[in-house]
Structures are given as structure tokens and as C-alpha cells.
Structure 1
Amino acid sequence: MLESLTLEGTTVVITGGGTGLGRAMVKDMARAGADLVIAGRRLEPLEEAASEAETFGVKAIGVATDVTNS
């Protein structure tokens, strides 16, 4: 399904992008050509995800933030 998805010229924000399903979405969106803002609570896995995304030739940044309502 995602093989035909093209997101070049777009920016996608992914919350929880450092691990699990969020991390998988980072990879898929980067493969589709989207630049990424990767948000989550711990900076280290976000930076790792951003580095991995950049191997697909896109721009990516990890931003430590908590989007829960607490």
C-alpha cells in the first residue's frame, strides 16, 4: 500500500516516533519522501529515528515534548 505513496514536498509530524509503531511510521513516511518532525518524551530515540529517516534523503528533526494532557 505505501509503496505507491509519494509525500515529497510535505512535512509530517509524528508523535511517539522514537519507538514502536511511531518509529515504523517514521521509516515509512521518510521512504515516501516526507520531511519529518518526530516528537516524543525522550530525545535520544528521537534523534536516532531522525538519523535513520535522513538515510532516505529527507530532512528530519527530533523534538522532546510531552503531548499528553496532564
Structure 2
Amino acid sequence: LGGHMKTFTGWTNKFIFPPYDFTVATSLVSNFHMPYSTMLMMVTAFGGYDLVMHAYEVAVKEKYRFGAYGDAMLII
């Protein structure tokens, strides 16, 4: 692809789970998703399982809010 994104029309069965090599995004803002959710799986693929799960341990200890309207994190 030469570092460029190309448009696509059609069906995809892409599912992002760790480990995954992201080639376009360099940072991610995400909510603290519920345990065992597919969104949490994508976040751990981006930020690394151990780092993200450590952030979740801290979030639970500090009583952060989880879910779509909860606290968020920035992964760089």
C-alpha cells in the first residue's frame, strides 16, 4: 500500500485481537470498557495486554467509571 490508505467497498470479517500490528493509528482515546468485551480486546491489542490490564487495576482501585459514559484513557 505504500503507506497510503485505500477505499474499500464490501464485506469484511476483520476482528482485532491481541497481538495486532496497527499500521495507521499512533494513539487511541478509549473509554474503560467492560471486562470480557470485544472493545476491551481491541484496546489491549492497541496498547498491549499487560499495560492496559494494569491501567484497569488502577481504575478499579480508584473507582473510575466503566462503560460508554465512563472515564477514558489516552494510549500513545
Please confirm whether the aligned pair reaches a TM-score higher than 0.5, indicating the same fold.
no
Structure with greater helix share of residues? 1
Which has the higher relative contact order, 1 or 2, with Cα contacts under 8 A spaced 6 or more apart?
A: 2
TM-score under structure 1 normalisation? Answer: 0.33
Structure with greater strand share of residues? 1
TM-score under structure 2 normalisation? Answer: 0.31
